[in-house]
Structure 1
Amino acid sequence: MASNAQPVSAKTPVTLREVAASAGVSVATASKALNGQGRMTAETRERIRETAQRLGFRPNSLAQSLLRRRSFTVGLLTNDTYGRFSLPVMSGISDALVDKGVSVFLCNVEDDKRLGQLHVDAMLDKRVDGIIATGKRIDRHLPVDLSNLGVPTIYAFTQPDPGAIAFVSDDAGGARLAVEHFCRLGRRRIAHVTGPASFAVVHARAQAYRDVLTEKGLPVMEPLLGSWSEAWGHEAVKKLFDGKLSKSGDEKPDAVFCGNDQIARGVIDALRERGLGVPDDVGVIGFDNWQIVAEATRPPLTSVDMNLAALGREAGLTLLSLVGGEPAEPGIRKLPCRLVVRQSCGRLPDG
């Protein structure tokens, strides 16, 4: 059957000369108006901009880059294959940069040194204004050397090079938020189930857990370390309720603070199988506030949010300052977490 559809072809870009002719001004005046330069009335400048928008005119970004010696692009490197942490960070970075006309492109280096170097070389070839490195944990460096690149480099949620600028979440502060909230709710036998000992955040959160309970004069149970999985959360409940882990006796926990949301979900399922109600019998708080998990848990899970979008935004703004020639002190900046309260932790004693 014959088709009357017209063949698809690329449209010829609208030129600055066409914008100027349509607006009734010279090419030089049109150029100055669209670049925010020159002296002219506000009415003229606005008329030229409206004409350019109506005609679909797009400035030659390559020419602008050569003129300003900037590419208005930022490279984002990560080894977080699933994007669990890097995507919220990227969202914050984009939020900081979009109003400045800067684009972000993401490259996944996985854990491959050669792939990482290929991506870095490609970014430098494209004359990126700067690079932001992020990852799936804060105590491991990406498998690529980012020192002495000749462009500003910021680290966000990954281990930085010495003397660099880095942004990480305050894991100890986040753990304090969770345990102190349990204390306000009247919970007195609070257990901690978390991930592997090979993670620095595990020790930071566990120490904050011990510190808060000691300050409150409450019994401290030895934190249970395992994997970042629901299966481990399920197994940990058996250890908590079938063993003697409290230094003050064999009383069973009335609250469990978990190292991530997946562990917390496993804990809740295991408690339910034992006939224990959440939060009536045992309150549960997770960590990460991974919404796809926290909001689907029954009951919905209270969790510590690491504010990764805000972390990314701060990293983006700092990179912009460096690109603009403003100095910044090297070092690690810890950004506060927040507690997102849902139904799994219970209510205050007075309701």
Structure 2
Amino acid sequence: MLKAAVTIHDVAKAAGVSIGTVSKVLNNQGRFTEETRIRVRQSAESLRFQPNALAQSLHQKRSYTVGLVSRDSFGRFSLPLLEGIENALDPARMAVFVCKPTDDPVHERRHIESLMAKRVDGLIVTSRRTDKRPPVDLAGTSMPVVYAYAQPEGSEAVCVLPDDRGGGQLAGQHLLCLGRTALAHVTGPEHFTAVRERRQGFEEALREAGRSLDPDWYLSGPWSEAWGHEAVGRLLEHGPRFDAIFCGSDQIARGVADALRERGLRVPEDVALVGYDNWDIIAAATRPPLTTIDPCLETLGQQAASCLLAMIAGAEATVPRVIRHPCRLVVRQSCGGEALL
């Protein structure tokens, strides 16, 4: 037979106090002697009493839950973000409901309605790209919302984003510090905000060194290894020969590395290579292992959750509207030198 759950009545009887005293002691309320507090807590612990979470949430007007709405169906970006979010929420004893509506606005709306019906304390909205998207519809409520690796159109909402411009600058500075002088850039589709910002940062690093990006050595195309492979052939049609390539993603960089090797060009001896994303499964398997820019998604998730906690606590005025988190350079063998930054 199943054993009946321990109730607050059982704790009160074991401690020899009223139900109200147990409730107040366990919620750190009221004025009681230290002896009474110890007796109540010891009784609750010995009976393995678990407070009714629903009753507590109704009393405190908090559910101690957060909704995560992600359009990243593959989890490439949302999973590291989720790890950081949970790390930040765990000390506050808050749980996360995860919903993945992909790019279907109707599906997303249903998820948000479900989360609001569960009385979540706030929402974190994320995506697989940082381009602007329509803001979530909160049906006129004032629920706290933070966008992480996403940003809404025409809204003053709180956004936590990677500093892609700074990441592109890091890549350019590293290659220049290694003595490379002829730098190319192979990246993804230009309509992506991240593509434009990474290029801007890369060109800024070149300008600071008195150089510029040769238009023949800038190529944009799909986010794929196949595109990286194809781009090398296009680059080799132009001279003089480049000695470094900054790629807009690790997938593209892996295709570039394969194509260079097939054409007898050595990485890093002939061409130094830098990717973007620090996607371990790609970067570590590239031949040679890939130097890359890490957008620090786990830390970005922690920061987004910290902002949400502040907003839930009523300190929204102290939270910046847009936070750009610095990226970091991860050095492996594809550049042939030690990190100088």
Fold conserved (TM > 0.5)?
yes
- 1:16 Cα deviation (Å)? 2.4
Is 1:297 the counterpart of 2:286 in the alignment? yes
Pick from 308, 329, 334 the counterpart of residue 344 of structure 1: 334
- Cα distance in 1 for partners of 2:37, 2:140 equals 43
Structure-to-structure mapping, 1:180-329, within 5 angstroms? 180-222=173-215, 223-241=218-236, 243-244=237-238, 250-328=239-317
Q: Which residue of 2 aligns with 1:119?
A: 111
1:15 aligns with 2:7: yes
Unpaired stretches in structure 1, ≥5 consecutive residues: 1-8, 245-249
Letter matched to residue 163 of structure 2: D
Which segment is superposed worse, 221-230 or 273-282? Answer: 273-282
Label 1:195 to 1:53 Cα distance change in 2 as closer, same or farther (>3 A). Answer: farther
Question: Structure 2: any 5+ residue segments left out of the alignment?
Answer: none
- Please give the alpha-carbon distance, in whole angstroms, between the structure 2 residues aligned to 1:160 and 1:284: 34
**CA separation of 1:147 and 1:187: change in aligned 2, threshold 3 A:** farther
Alpha carbons of structure 1 residues 149 and 314: separation in structure 2 relative to 1, 3 Å: same
CA distance in 2, matches of 1:35, 1:102: 17
Give the alignment of 1:48-127 within 5 angstroms: 48-49=40-41, 51-127=43-119
> What's the TM-score, normalizing by structure 2?
0.90
Verify the 8 A CA contact 1:196 1:227 in the aligned structure 2.
Answer: yes
Cα distance change of structure 1 residues 184 and 51 upon mapping to structure 2, 3 Å threshold: farther
User: Aligned residue for 2:323?
Assistant: 333
Maintained 8 Å contact 2:203/2:212: no
- In structure 2, the CA distance between the partners of 1:129 and 1:10, relative to structure 1 (3 Å rule), is farther
In 2: Cα distance, 1:200 partner to 1:100 partner: 34
Provide the C-alpha distance between the structure 1 equivalents of 2:234 and 2:118, rounded to a whole number of angstroms: 55
Structure 1 174/51 Cα, relative in aligned 2: closer, same or farther at 3 Å?
farther
1:175 paired residue among 168, 179, 189: 168
Measured after TM superposition, the shift of residue 218 of structure 1 is 3.1
Please give the alpha-carbon distance, in whole angstroms, between the structure 1 residues aligned to 2:339 and 2:57.
61
Of the structure 1 ranges 51-60 and 277-286, higher mean CA displacement relative to structure 2 is found in 51-60
**C-alpha distance in 2 between matches for 1:348 and 1:340:** 10
Q: Is the 8 A contact 1:190 1:253 kept in 2?
A: yes
Please report the RMSD computed on the Cα atoms of aligned residues, expressed in angstroms: 2.4
Distance 1:41 1:343, change over 3 A: farther
In structure 1, the residue matched to 2:25 is: 33
Separation (CA, whole Å) in 2 of partners of 1:239 and 1:106: 43
1:151 aligns with 2:140: no
Distance 1:76 1:11, change over 3 A: farther
Q: Taking structure 1 as the reference length, what is the TM-score of the superposition?
A: 0.88
Equivalent residues of 1:186, 1:348 under 8 A apart: no
